[in-house]
Structures are given as structure tokens and as C-alpha cells.
DNA sequence: GTGGCTGTTCCCCACACATGAACAACGCTT
DNA sequence: AAGCGTTGTTCATGTGTGGGGAACAGCCAC
């Protein structure tokens, strides 16, 4: 597959994005040599692509080190707000935040990872940004989506590994599969400190035409989400919210 | 410049991003032929790049039409949260929202456009997302940044045109330049329905080592921002906020 | 059915990308 | 301050590949 595809695709584009992705994964800035060696490509090639990406504004050069450029922020915003779920779910997420006085959001899946389309926080108690897991298996919205995904897709994702984030993370295929069955039955997913100690969440998948579009969640610290509120009230609110806008997509 | 640069940069990458940018600018999905004709490139070339970008997850193919993919959302988030201003300003913006009970944010400039690094809204009254101007000249944070930018950069940006958004937009170079001088003197910028009818905002530039890093703003509808609150109270709050974190960057 | 669109594939050649090696610039150690 | 290792940058080259035209196929409207 790759051999025939390579014939009809642009290799240079691929390497350029490999460079960008490498920069995205690193926390710190990085030099040409370092980047080239981690990607196992010649220095000069890395340099040429970095220069090109700089010129386009998607990579930023600070001194002799490179990092992600803000051009990507523009593109990313365009991509997020373009998704059909964004437009329909946004106002409902906002209302969830008001009603529950807790952070809420809407998540979609792409290539086995969770992507936040939109999230909002209660004003006086803003939560951390960018801390949500990219992994599906250890978050409420991720599991809600997984439970609705076709079996072969789930298998693919499981095969890529189930990293352990806390000691409650479901990191074996069998444990995860069993949980997903229960989630599919009930139509709701819970997260109890599986991606971060002290964090809880409830999520409901958004299904349309038998395809899962994403999931809506409400999150919060364990002390704000316990017993009936966590297990019944908030689930009920989310379910009715999702029902409401699933019909009028 | 372009001729010599073309020798040491990757053309294929450039066209790939041209394709992505074209998709970002269009509201609707687009087909190969249509895209190729607007970009004035051969169909087959457009097709090859689109296919490559699809494979990488940065473009999404729905039926026979193409649109931006969610891979860009990931990269965009990485880029935003990586900016030094993001980390330092975020919590202060959150506090501005609490204190003023109005939307606030932090903006940086890239390539003559305004990019929102972070913004937040009061819980019960969430504002529209993605509606802020990409233009610098008609928003409070944009003007705050312009006022601190070197003259040649300002000239470049003015040369690219000053689109009129409302009848209050400063759309002539002389009017804008005059205003920027006053903003530079006072260290604060006001926006009075210049980018959208009924919207007001106050912004303060963040300057470090004589270089402008970005601007922090508080926005709101005209009826929530008038007289002393608009002209003195909120400006004072923002200035003291910015002063506080400029010192400990 | 038919015609005019699309998207997709084919194929070939110029040429621009990938590459290693040479060069220059930095910064650390002494 | 000088030297040396490291890094970034440039150069030169052949070869793989991206660009582009044109042919093919698939859709939809009429």
C-alpha cells in the first residue's frame, strides 16, 4: 500500500509535516542537528524544510533554535470551527457549564486520538488548558467514542498501546473492552481518576446515522463530583442535552 | 529575494500549504477542479497534494469534496500553548474575566495578523468564538500591538490595506497613524465599534526588552462598557495586571 | 441515453529535492 | 585569548520525483 501510494503522493510534503510534528512533540526548542538525528534525515534536508516552513510562518526561528510557529494556530482554529459538531454543540456546552458550574467540552476522534473541538470553564474556577489526554482509553469522552466505534477501529487503537496514566487506567485490552461494552449498553461513560489523579468526568457519545461524531463531557475534581450528582444528575443533564441537539443536527 | 530563496527552500511544501490555506479561507468544502482553478495550478498537482494531506490527516475528504482536517487542530494547540505569553498571561486573563465579569484574552501578532493565544468568557454569558478580527487595525489589542511595532513593520501592514469593517473603522493610513501615536503615548488602546457594531474593548500592549510580545484585552458590548468603567476602571485593571506579569516573565 | 461536468489515473521529462561534504560561525574549555 | 568541538549554513551533484498535460472513468442533470 505504501509503495503504490508513494507514487501518487508528495514526499516532500510528508517530510515537511514530519518535521512539524517532531517540533510539536518536543516541549523545548530544537536545533537543526538534533532534529535531523531524531528524525534520521540528513541535516541539510532538515534545514531546507525548516527554512521553508519558517518562510511560511508555520515554524518560528528563535536564534538558532526552531519551534512551532503561530501560523498553525490560525489553521487549527479554522479546522476546529469547521467541524459540524462545533457549530451545533458549542452553545450546548456553554449551557452545560452554566447549569453544572463545571468545565465541559466536546471531543472528536481523529486517527485514534482525542481532539478537543471546544471546551469552556466556569468563570471563577478556570481549569488548566491543554492538559487533556490525547488518548481515548483513559478519558470519559474518549471511552464514549470508543464504545461506538466499529470493532476493527477499536482493535487498531488498542494495538497501538494503552499507556498507563494513573493506577486506575484501563491498560489491558480485555479490561478496556469489557468496560466499553458496559458503556455501549448504558450510553454513558465515566472517568474516575483514570487519566489524572483527582479528576472525574462524565461523557455521552454523539451518534448520528449510526456513526459516532464525537462526545460531550462534563469534568471536575473528585470532591465536586461524587455520589448522586456524579452518577445520576450530571449524566441525566448531559444525556438530555445531547438528545436535544442530536435531533436537530 | 524570492529567486535565491527558491533555490534553498522546498517548493512542494509551499504548494501544499497553499492548498491548506485555500481550504482554510473557504467556508464550504471544495472539489479538486475548483481548488485547482482558484489557485491556478493543474488539477493533477492539486489532486496529488490533497491526497497526500489526506493521508497525513491534515485534510479531510468527505465524498468528493475536501476540507480542513483535524490534525491541524492538534498542531495549532501545540503552537499556541508553546508561546511564552500563553503560559504567563493565561492565569492573569482568567482573573481579568473574574474581576470584570467580561470576556478577556491575550493576542499576538504574526505576519501582520492578530492571533488569539487565549481567551476566556464569563460563564453565564459566553460570547461567540472565532469572531475576532484577523486584522490589527480595527481591534483594541491589534492597535495596541501596532502602536509598539517598529515603523517599517507598521508601514508594511498598512500597505496591505485597511479593510473597513464598520463605519468607525480607521481605514486611512493617516487616521490610523495618528491614533497609534496617541495609543503609544498613553500605553492603552480603545476599540469603539470599529470591528463590529456594538462591540467595545480595551487593550494594553505587553512589552519586554523594547519588543512587543502581544496585548491583553477586555471586551464587551457597548452597554456594559461605558463612561468611567470603560475609560478608567477597566483600563486601570488591565494595566496593573500587565505590569504585574511583565516583571516576572 | 447522452453530454458535460467532475475526480482520478497515466506517463513523461525537466528539474528541484535529497544528500554528503565542505564551509563558516558559534561557544565552551583551557 | 586561542583552540577545538560542535552547530548552523552553503555548495555541488545525480537522480528520483513532483509538475503538468492529456487520457480515462465516474457521476449527475437533462
pLDDT at position A211: 86
pLDDT at position B227: 86
B78: left (phi over 0), alpha (psi -120 to 50) or beta: alpha
Claim to verify: residue B62 and residue B104 sit in the same structural domain = no
Residue B20 with chain A: CB contacts under 8 Å: 75
Closest B-chain CA to A119:
B120
pLDDT band at B196 (very low <50, low <70, confident <90, very high): confident
Claim to verify: residue B55 and residue B118 sit in the same structural domain = no
Query: What mean pLDDT, rounded, does chain B reach?
Result: 88
Q: Is residue B185 part of a domain?
A: yes
Claim to verify: residue A37 and residue A87 sit in the same structural domain = no
Give the whole-number percent of chain A exceeding pLDDT 70: 92
Q: What does the pLDDT look like over B75-95, one tens digit per residue? A: 998 899 888 899 899 889 989
pLDDT at B54 over 80: yes
Claim to verify: residue B97 and residue B166 sit in the same structural domain = yes
Distance of alpha carbon A103 from alpha carbon A126, whole angstroms? 8
Claim to verify: residue B196 and residue B107 sit in the same structural domain = yes
Distance of alpha carbon A85 from alpha carbon B4, whole angstroms? 45
Does the nearest atom of strand D lie within 7 Å of B246's Cβ?
no
Average pLDDT over residues B34-60: 93
Domain boundary among B49, B71, B93: B71
Q: Is residue B78 part of a domain?
A: no
Q: Which residue has the higher pLDDT, A162 or A1?
A: A162
- CATH number of the domain where residue A45 is located: 1.10.10.10
Q: Is residue B172 part of a domain?
A: yes
Q: Where are the beta strands (DSSP E) in A52-172?
A: 59-62, 65-68, 104-110, 113-120
pLDDT at position B178: 93
Claim to verify: residue B67 and residue B90 sit in the same structural domain = no
Q: Is residue B76 part of a domain?
A: no
Claim to verify: residue A198 and residue A132 sit in the same structural domain = yes
Q: What does the pLDDT look like over A148-181, one tens digit per residue? A: 999 989 999 999 988 988 989 998 999 999 999 9
pLDDT at B22 over 90: yes
Task: Specify the pTM.
Answer: 0.86
Residue B94 with chain A: CB contacts under 8 Å: 126
Q: Is residue B77 part of a domain?
A: no
pLDDT at position B201: 94
Claim to verify: residue B159 and residue B243 sit in the same structural domain = yes
Domain boundary among A12, A47, A74: A74
Claim to verify: residue A56 and residue A153 sit in the same structural domain = no
Does the nearest atom of strand C lie within 7 Å of A39's Cβ?
no
Give the total number of structural domains in chain A. 2
Q: Is residue B232 part of a domain?
A: yes
pLDDT at position A210: 82
Domain boundary among A35, A52, A74: A74
pLDDT at position A1: 36
Q: What does the pLDDT look like over B124-168, one tens digit per residue? A: 665 554 555 678 999 999 999 999 999 999 999 999 989 998 999
**C-alpha triplet B109, B112, B114: angle, nearest 5°:** 40
Claim to verify: residue A91 and residue A213 sit in the same structural domain = yes
Q: Which residue has the higher pLDDT, A177 or A3?
A: A177
pLDDT at A2 over 50: no
**C-alpha triplet B53, A39, B57: angle, nearest 5°:** 20
pLDDT at position A122: 79
Lowest mean pLDDT among A39-43, A118-122, A162-166, B148-152: A118-122
Which set of grid coordinates corresponds to residue A21?
Answer: 510534528
Claim to verify: residue A176 and residue A232 sit in the same structural domain = yes
pLDDT at A3 over 50: no
Average pLDDT over residues A208-231: 90
Average pLDDT over residues A213-229: 91
Does the nearest atom of strand D lie within 7 Å of A53's Cβ?
no
Claim to verify: residue B31 and residue B122 sit in the same structural domain = no
Q: Is residue B161 part of a domain?
A: yes
pLDDT band at A50 (very low <50, low <70, confident <90, very high): very high
- CATH number of the domain where residue A187 is located: 3.30.450.40
Task: Using the structure, give the distance in angstroms from the CA atom of A55 to the C1' atom of C2, rounded to a whole number.
Answer: 50
Whether B165 and B134 have beta carbons less than 8 Å apart is answered as: no
Domain assignment of residue B51, given as a range = 2-71
Among A9, A52, A116, whose Cβ lies nearest the Cβ of B55? Answer: A9
**C-alpha triplet A226, A228, A234: angle, nearest 5°:** 85
Question: Which 42-71 residues of chain B approach strand D with CB closer than 7 Å?
Answer: 42-45, 48-49
pLDDT at position B137: 94
pLDDT at B2 over 70: no
pLDDT at B182 over 90: yes
pLDDT band at B247 (very low <50, low <70, confident <90, very high): confident
The number of beta carbons lying within 10 Å of the beta carbon of residue B134 is 13
Amino acid at each position: 500500500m505504501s509503495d503504490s501510494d508513494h507514487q501518487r503522493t508528495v514526499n516532500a510534503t510528508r517530510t515537511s509535516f514530519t518535521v512539524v510534528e517532531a517540533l510539536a512533540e518536543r516541549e523545548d526548542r530544537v536545533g537543526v542537528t538534533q532534529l535531523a538525528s531524531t528524525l534520521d534525515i540528513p541535516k541539510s534536508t532538515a534545514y531546507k524544510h525548516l527554512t521553508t516552513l519558517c518562510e511560511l510562518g508555520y515554524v518560528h526561528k528563535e536564534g538558532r533554535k526552531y519551534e512551532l510557529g503561530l501560523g498553525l494556530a490560525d489553521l487549527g482554529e479554522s479546522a476546529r470551527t469547521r467541524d459540524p459538531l462545533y457549530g451545533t454543540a458549542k452553545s450546548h456546552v456553554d449551557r452545560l457549564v452554566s447549569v453544572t458550574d463545571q468545565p465541559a467540552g466536546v471531543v472528536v476522534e481523529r486517527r485514534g486520538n482525542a481532539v478537543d473541538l471546544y471546551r469552556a470553564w466556569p468563570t471563577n474556577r478556570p481549569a488548566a488548558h491543554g492538559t487533556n489526554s490525547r488518548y481515548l482509553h483513559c478519558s470519559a469522552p474518549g471511552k464514549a467514542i470508543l464504545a461506538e466505534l466499529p470493532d476493527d477501529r477499536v482493535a487498531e487503537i488498542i494495538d497501538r498501546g494503552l499507556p498507563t496514566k494513573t493506577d486506575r487506567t484501563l491498560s489491558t485490552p480485555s479490561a478496556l473492552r469489557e468496560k466499553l461494552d458496559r458503556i455501549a449498553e448504558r450510553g454513558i461513560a465515566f472517568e474516575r481518576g483514570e487519566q489524572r489523579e483527582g479528576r472525574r468526568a462524565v461523557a455521552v457519545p454523539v451518534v448520528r446515522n449510526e456513526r459516532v461524531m464525537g462526545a460531550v463531557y462534563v469534568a471536575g475534581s473528585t470532591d465536586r463530583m461524587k455520589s448522586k450528582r456524579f452518577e445520576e444528575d450530571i449524566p441525566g443533564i448531559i444525556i438530555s442535552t445531547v438528545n436535544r441537539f442530536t435531533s436537530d443536527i
